[in-house]
């Protein structure tokens, strides 16, 4: 397996720039996931790496070799497409072996590689079936088997789980993670599903409008999002962003208690971010916010409650299932200071000169 390095990559379709000056290194044996909304450029970036699209400028290095202008086959990558792209007239054995027959490998070597891939992917009982006799999950395993036998420099996955139902997606995520560890593979995986990104990735690359918004481990991105876009894209329900007012030494949520911050280095205006699971329902004589319940969704083990706290501020709270306020009920909410995120109004996270996030202090909240 090989390191993949992208330097100053651009891709335009006519006057429309889809990929904008992206530089990124994907380490050997890492599973790196490109995630972002539709149209952000994640699939185009994958296709550029695969050689299915030609770069407008910039370079792509695989294992230290410049492959920017090489044909896809010569890059020694294996790609699993969203549609799986299996040959319907061939059985599973021949689908897996197709690239090996094309490369004119000896028959006994092909049989050995196919048998090993079938064993790894638990396809031994399906080798004589055609794709139309397989489930969606089995077809995906065949497509992965076809990629494995080529022994590529890296695996590329283009939204492979999007055609599966929710239960099968969860099961297949486990299988892909196990397979990645057993192969010690370098893998790039594209998805719009933040759950897939959070559960599978060693590192996530969040894209928007053809640019990288942030890259890091799932924990790093969830706990320390660089901007409001990343903060709200990762996490379900998404992070709350509260409108606030800045006064002398204080940030105030209109109609509620004051939150006291150090005055130095404070930007002109800020927004407060807080994740739904960090907010608690508390007794009427406690808490920082009063809200009126607008929505109460039951999810089995938990509830999602949406409350209006005034001045165009809706707050989403994730609470245990046994806490069930009624629609229209007034509730009190509380959040610990360490769970607040501070963003400037341009969406960027507010940092102190030392690079640490501003340490906020609360007045009277815990009294």
Q: What confidence score (pLDDT) does residue 249 get?
A: 65
Residue 178 lies in a domain: yes
**Strand, coil or helix: 105:** coil
What value does the mean pLDDT take over residues 53-57?
A: 96
Give yes or no: residues 202 and 243 share one domain: no
Higher-confidence position of 18 and 2: 18
Residue 96 lies in a domain: yes
Domain boundary among 232, 257, 288: 232
Enumerate residues 6+ apart whose C-beta is below 8 A from 151. none
Residue 223 lies in a domain: yes
Its sign, for the CA torsion 318, 323, 325, 330, is negative
Enumerate residues 6+ apart whose C-beta is below 8 A from 30. 186, 187, 202, 203
Give yes or no: residues 55 and 204 share one domain: yes
Q: What confidence score (pLDDT) does residue 278 get?
A: 93
Give yes or no: residues 8 and 117 share one domain: yes
Q: What confidence score (pLDDT) does residue 355 get?
A: 36
- Residue 302, class by beta-carbon neighbours within 10 Å (0-12 exposed, 13-18 middle, 19+ buried)? middle
Q: What is the pLDDT of residues 285-314, one digit of tens each?
A: 888 888 999 999 999 989 999 999 887 789
Q: What confidence score (pLDDT) does residue 337 get?
A: 75
Checking phi first, is residue 32 left (phi over 0); if not, alpha (psi -120 to 50) or beta?
A: beta
* Number of domains within the chain: 2
Domain boundary among 217, 232, 247: 232
Give yes or no: residues 52 and 186 share one domain: yes
Q: What confidence score (pLDDT) does residue 359 get?
A: 45
Structural domain harbouring 157: 4-232
Report the percent of the chain where pLDDT is more than 90. 59
What value does the mean pLDDT take over residues 60-74?
A: 94
Give yes or no: residues 270 and 185 share one domain: no
| Torsion angle in degrees (nearest 10) through CA of 320, 323, 329, 330 | -70
Backbone angles phi, psi at 165, to 5 degrees: -75, 170
Give yes or no: residues 133 and 261 share one domain: no
Task: Reply yes or no: is the peptide bond before residue 237 cis, omega within 30 of 0.
Answer: yes
What value does the mean pLDDT take over residues 71-92?
A: 90
Q: What confidence score (pLDDT) does residue 358 get?
A: 44
Question: What is the rounded CA–CA span in Å between residue 231 and residue 218?
Answer: 12
Give yes or no: residues 10 and 130 share one domain: yes
Looking at residue 284, which CATH number applies to its domain?
2.40.50.140
Rounded to a whole number, what is the largest CA-CA distance in the chain?
A: 79
Give yes or no: residues 138 and 250 share one domain: no
What average pLDDT is seen over the chain?
Answer: 87
Looking at residue 151, which CATH number applies to its domain?
3.40.50.300
* Range from 165-179, 292-306, 322-336 carrying the lowest mean pLDDT: 165-179
What value does the mean pLDDT take over residues 121-138?
A: 91
Residue 367 lies in a domain: no
Residue 23 lies in a domain: yes
Give yes or no: residues 293 and 165 share one domain: no
Give yes or no: residues 200 and 290 share one domain: no
What value does the mean pLDDT take over residues 175-187?
A: 84
Question: What is the rounded CA–CA span in Å between residue 90 and residue 71?
Answer: 26
Confidence of residue 37 (pLDDT cuts 50, 70, 90): very high
Structure tokens at 85: 């792209």
Question: With 90 as the cut, is the pLDDT of residue 91 above it?
Answer: yes
Q: On the CB side of 303, how many CA atoms lie within 13 Å of its CA?
A: 18
Residue 38 lies in a domain: yes
Contact 219, 352 (CB under 8 A): no
Annotate 58-75 with three-state secondary structure: EEEEECCEECCCCCHHHH
- Determine if the pTM surpasses 0.95: no
Higher-confidence position of 174 and 158: 158
Give yes or no: residues 117 and 257 share one domain: no
Q: What confidence score (pLDDT) does residue 365 get?
A: 38
Give yes or no: residues 183 and 222 share one domain: yes
Residue 351 lies in a domain: yes
Residue 122 lies in a domain: yes
Confidence of residue 111 (pLDDT cuts 50, 70, 90): very high
What value does the mean pLDDT take over residues 161-186?
A: 83
Q: What stretches of 159-278 adopt beta strand conformation (E)?
A: 187-191, 203-208, 211-216, 240-243, 245-247, 250-252, 258-260, 270-274
Domain boundary among 206, 232, 258: 232
Q: What is the pLDDT of residues 256-278, one digit of tens each?
A: 665 656 545 566 678 889 999 99
Its sign, for the CA torsion 203, 209, 211, 212, is negative
Q: What confidence score (pLDDT) does residue 367 get?
A: 40
């Amino acid at each position: 397996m090989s390191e993949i390095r992208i330097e100053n990559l651009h891709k335009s379709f006519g006057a429309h720039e889809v990929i904008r000056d992206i530089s990124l290194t994907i380490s050997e044996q890492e599973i790196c996931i490109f995630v972002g909304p539709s149209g952000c450029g994640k699939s185009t970036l994958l296709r550029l790496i695969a050689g299915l699209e030609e770069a407008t400028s910039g370079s792509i290095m695989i294992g230290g070799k410049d492959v920017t202008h090489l044909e896809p086959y010569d890059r020694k990558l294996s790609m699993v497409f969203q549609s799986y792209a299996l040959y319907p007239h061939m059985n599973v054995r021949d689908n897996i072996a197709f690239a090996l027959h094309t490369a004119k490998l000896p028959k006994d070597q092909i049989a050995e590689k196919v048998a090993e891939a079938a064993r790894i992917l638990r396809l031994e009982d399906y080798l004589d079936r055609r794709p139309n006799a397989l489930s969606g999950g089995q077809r995906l395993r065949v497509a992965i088997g076809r990629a494995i036998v080529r022994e590529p420099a890296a695996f590329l996955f283009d939204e492979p789980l999007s055609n599966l139902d929710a239960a099968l997606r969860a099961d297949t995520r486990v299988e892909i993670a196990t397979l990645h560890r057993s192969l010690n593979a370098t893998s790039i995986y594209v998805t719009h599903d933040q759950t897939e990104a959070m559960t599978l990735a060693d590192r996530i690359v969040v894209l928007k409008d053809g640019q990288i918004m942030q890259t890091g481990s799932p924990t790093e991105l969830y706990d320390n999002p660089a901007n409001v876009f990343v903060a709200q894209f990762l996490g379900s329900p998404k992070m709350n962003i509260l409108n606030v007012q800045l006064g002398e030494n204080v940030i105030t949520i209109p109609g509620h208690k004051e939150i006291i911050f150090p005055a130095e280095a404070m930007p002109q205006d800020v927004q407060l971010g807080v994740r739904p699971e960090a907010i608690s329902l508390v007794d009427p004589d406690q808490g920082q916010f009063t809200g009126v319940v607008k929505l109460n969704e039951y999810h089995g083990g938990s509830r999602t409650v949406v409350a209006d706290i005034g001045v165009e501020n809706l707050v989403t709270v994730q609470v245990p299932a046994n806490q069930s306020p009624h629609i229209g009920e007034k509730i009190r909410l509380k959040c610990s200071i360490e769970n607040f995120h501070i963003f400037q109004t341009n969406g960027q996270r507010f940092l102190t000169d030392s690079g640490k996030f501003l340490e906020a202090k609360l007045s009277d909240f815990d009294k």
